[in-house]
Structure 1
């Protein structure tokens, strides 16, 4: 069973399933996030929807590059969560199935190419408060706990 975060399911609402991939990109005690200007300004884990026929890892590389301008490596699938939400940019009620990977940012290629996105490095403690959705915050917290356990 995949844990749900965020708003409650609206029983009368039809949701379209939308699989996506997102990355926890750590460098020391900092995390690379994307700040999206609109429709609501918020910090997010870089990533997004998987296009039809696209492999999830290919989608993750594409989304991270578009939203941050960075190339990534060393991908490891970490977990998943779901959330039900309205996506105003698509006028869509979605059941988002979010696969989370941990990866390393390896090379800055340039600025983000997706309009309204900005690559922002945040201290992980700050990101735990500022990430815009509960699923992103929970996954980052889990990654940090696992890493701390592995260091001892």
Structure 2
């Protein structure tokens, strides 16, 4: 059973299942995050949807690069969660299955290529309080509590 964070599904509403890969990207005591500006500022773990025929790790590399401009190495899956959310960019209600990885950011190649995203470095404890959804906050808090 995958733990759920946030509100449950609304009765009578149809949800589309969307599987995505997301990353904790530590460097020292900081995490590399992305801030999505539209429809409003939202601090997130970098990552996103897995395209048809794409593996989760391939999607993770692609999404992190698009949202942060960074290349990553050695991704390792550390958990998963689900949440129910409205996705305004697709105009759909989704049951998001979020596969969480820890990876090493190795090289900044330039600014994010995905419009409306900005790479942000933040102390892990601050990220655990400020990330935009409870699942991301949970995994950032677990990371911050590591010795």
Q: Same fold (TM over 0.5)?
A: yes
Cα-to-partner distance string for 1:49-107 (whole Å, 9 max, x where unaligned): 00011011000000000000000001110000000000011001000000000000000
* Matches of 1:9 and 1:77, distance apart in 2: 26
* Matches of 1:40 and 1:4, distance apart in 2: 24
- The match for 1:71 is 71
Instruction: Give TM-score, length-normalised by structure 2.
Output: 0.97
* Matches of 2:94 and 2:40, distance apart in 1: 16
Root-mean-square deviation (CA, aligned residues, Å) is 0.8
Gaps of 5+ in 1: none
SS in 2 for 1:66: helix
- The match for 2:92 is 92
The answer to whether the 8 Å contact 2:124/2:143 transfers is no
Cα shift at 1:140: 1.4
SS in 2 for 1:72: strand
* Matches of 2:14 and 2:42, distance apart in 1: 25
Cα-to-partner distance string for 1:88-147 (whole Å, 9 max, x where unaligned): 1100100000000000000000000000000000011111111000000001112333x3
* Matches of 1:144 and 1:75, distance apart in 2: 18
Cα shift at 1:11: 1.6
Gaps of 5+ in 2: none
SS in 2 for 1:118: strand
The answer to whether the 8 Å contact 2:125/2:140 transfers is no
Judge which range, 94-103 or 120-129, deviates more. Answer: 120-129
Instruction: Give TM-score, length-normalised by structure 1.
Output: 0.94
